[in-house]
Amino acid sequence: MSLVQLEYFVAIAEEGNIGRAARRLHVSQPPLSRQLRSLEEELGAELFKRTARGVQLLPHGKTFLEHARRVLAEVEHAKSCLGGADAQRGKA
C-alpha cells in the first residue's frame, strides 16, 4: 500500500467515476483502475462495485475511506509542521 494509492482511492470515491477522478488527478484512467485493483487485492476486499455508470462504494469501501482520509490528513499535518516555507508553498 502506498500514499498515492490512498489519494487515488479517495479521489475515485469522491467522484464515483474512475475517469473523472483521473482527470482531477491529472493522470490517465488505466493507472487508476490498476492501482485501485492492486489496493483491493492487497486488502483482500472489494472496495467498489463496478457499474456501467461508474463505481459505487461498498460497505468495506466506506469504512476504508474514513481511514484513508485520516492517514492523508495526518501526512499533511506532518509536512506542515516542519519546513514552514516549503509547507506553505505546498498548500497554495
Q: How far is the CB of 89 from a second copy (least distance, A)?
A: 9
Residue 71 identity (one-letter amino acid): V
Query: Which residues make up the interface to DNA (CB under 7 A)?
Result: 2, 4, 17-20, 26-31, 33-38, 50-55
Among 28, 38, 56, 63, binds a second copy (CB under 8 A): 63
Tell me, what DSSP letter sits at residue 44?
Answer: T
Contacts of 82 by beta carbon, 8 Å cutoff, 6+ apart: none
> Measured between alpha carbons, how far is 74 from 4 in angstroms, rounded to an integer?
14
Contact track, a second copy, 73-92, x by CB under 8 A: -xx-xxx-xxx-xx------
CB-wise, 20 or 25, nearer to a second copy?
Answer: 25
Q: Cα-atom radius of gyration of the chain, to the nearest Å?
A: 14
